[in-house]
Structure 1
Amino acid sequence: MNDSVVTCQRLIGRTAIVTASTDGIGLGIAQRLAEEGANVVISSRKQKNVDAAVHNLKAKGLKVIGTTCHVAKGEDRQKLFKLAESTFGGIDILISNAATNPTMGPVLDCEESAWDKIFETNVKASYLLAKEVLPYLNKRNGGKIIFVSSIGGYHPSELLGAYSVSKTALLGLTKAAAIQLAKDNIQVNCLAPGIVQTKFSDALTSSEVARTEALLRIPLNRFGTPSDMGATVAFLASDDASYITGETIIVAGGMASKL
């Protein structure tokens, strides 16, 4: 985690929920939002991970609470929303980061059970989180919804076939929801990370051969960090991005993405 001092304070008085936020990209996002003054509710499926992340973030002087949440379970999603409202008085920002990938391989080799699990967590849960947070955002007369996709949503990886398709679906969800919610002063945007140095990307970043091959595709010649992702999400969550909606920002060090 980058410990450089963050001087921007764009999110003071706002409350953010970040799913799957006790490690990796989610934790980087949660930390940056809190560093910019937000009250942050973090979550994970395991209580011990929540406890450790909350302890570490509070030790930095940040306003953070946490709870367990399996995003595919309706009662867990409601628990997350109610905790944010009861503790901090409302919700202004939702970051849907939770994702799963139980299988590797080409898209049409994916077993139906794995396909269903990927889409239940990566797409359906994102849709339901956005749908169910609306009453809370409307109480604030607006807000921000940010989905976490992947550069694989633009350029599918053969080894991450079904996962890549699920991330493409989030690009469409972003655009469709942005159109619907514009009248309610709710901006909906998306982050598409490239290769970020986390446990999820360990296969690409740990061995020397894999690292060398991966870095050849990155003009900036380094992997991304959770802090890089957090900085972009903090911008999208702030008033500095008040005229941006329906967009996906690719944060991938210059990797081939789109025109």
Structure 2
Amino acid sequence: MSSSLNGKVVLITGAASGIGRATAIKLSKLGCALALTDIVETDLGETAESCHTEKIITAALDVSNADQSELVLKETVEYFGRLDHIFNCAGINPTPYPLLDLPEGYFDKLVAVNLKGTYNVTKAALPHLKEHAGCSFVNVSSILGLKPSKLQATYCATKYAIIGFSKSMALELGERGIRVNVVAPGFIQTPTNASVVAGPDFVKSAEQSVSLGRLGTAAEIADVVAFLMSDEAKYMNGSVVEINGGLAN
């Protein structure tokens, strides 16, 4: 894997923490140059310092803003001279709400970031990707993009939509040699994971629903993301990879 990713330029959204940060660190070890983005640029400092390369730029990016997305993608290519892979990781984790209790603006916010953000960055990146050069997108869905959960209608809607969008883009871009794949994480130990936020009892319940008996780590998601970008996955297009430790149905 290291030889096929060495020297590649990867843009990561949501890189300030969690899965985005872990993926940046993983890819830096494999020799990638990185464009790290998050909604607040100063939050990216710790990620950049943890990476094993000096080939890094950082930028503030609100993925729900199409103009910002176009500008950051353009600046990335101007700086590095190329772009090879995009990891659409920025997103808002769910809060359980009955539909009638949904706070004003919650639906619009989740759709704007989780779904339209992936759309904006994908659209902005496409003019800069060289055809038949091994370029790819990896998008983040969720186990809740594959199975429903009560009190999570809005979040499920965005994550189901990511899979539909990604599979359609895989068909559209495949003839240009550009791949689009999806990771669907289960319960992952990150600061914003809903179970972690809810407290130890919720974490214990989540762990009991996983056959491996524990939450996953952000680094374990990063391993799969890196694989999907690599030449080892060059015939994977439109795939949805579940990473959930053996989650009970």
1:46 aligns with 40
Are 1:44 and 1:68, in contact at CA under 8 Å, matched by a contact in 2? Answer: yes
Q: How big is each residue's C-alpha offset from its partner over 1:194-221, in whole Å with a ceiling of 9 and x where there is no partner?
A: 1111111164477332222111110011
| Equivalent residue number for residue 201 of structure 2 | 209
**Counterpart secondary structure, 1:138:** coil
Cα displacement (A) at 1:81:
1.1
Tell me: CA distance 1:62–1:160, structure 2 relative to 1, closer, same or farther (3 Å).
farther
1:132 corresponds in structure 2 to 124
Specify the code of the residue in structure 1 equivalent to 2:154.
A
Question: What's the RMSD between the two structures over aligned residues?
Answer: 2.1
Equivalents in 2 of 1:256, 1:108: separation in Å?
A: 29
1:127-157, CA deviations, whole angstroms, 9 ceiling, x for partnerless residues? 1211221111136745101110111111233
Shift of 1:254: 0.7
Please state if 1:234 is matched with 2:226.
yes
User: Could you tell me which of 12, 17, 20 is aligned with 1:18?
Assistant: 12
2:83 to 91, 102, 107: 91
Q: Does 1:164 align with 2:170?
A: no
Match of 1:147 among 139, 154, 172: 139
Q: TM-score, normalised by structure 2?
A: 0.91
Q: Give unpaired runs (5+ residues) of structure 1.
A: 1-6
Residue in structure 1 matched with residue 21 of structure 2 by the alignment:
27
Distance 2:34 2:214 in 1: 29
Amino acid at match of 2:180: V
Question: Any idea what SS the aligned residue of 1:230 has?
Answer: helix
| Distance in 2 between residues matched to 1:81 and 1:207, nearest whole Å | 38
Q: Is 1:115 paired with 2:107?
A: yes
| Distance (whole Å) between structure 2 residues aligned to residue 107 and residue 147 of structure 1 | 27
More displaced, 96-105 or 166-175?
96-105
Structure 1 residues 102 and 210, CA, compared in 2 at 3 Å: closer, same or farther? Answer: closer
TM-score, reference length from structure 1: 0.88
Change (3 A) 1:249 1:91: same
Query: 1:3-35: per-residue Cα shift (whole Å, max 9, x none)?
Result: xxxx84431121000101110011111111121
Query: What is the rounded CA distance, in whole Å, between the counterparts of 2:139 and 2:190 in structure 1?
Result: 18
Preserved contact between residue 129 and residue 135 of structure 2 (Cα < 8 Å)? yes
Q: Distance in 2 between matches of 1:21 and 1:164?
A: 22
Which residue does the alignment assign to 1:81?
73
Identity over the aligned pairs, expressed in percent? 30
Counterpart residue number, 1:254: 246
State the secondary structure of the residue aligned to 1:184: coil
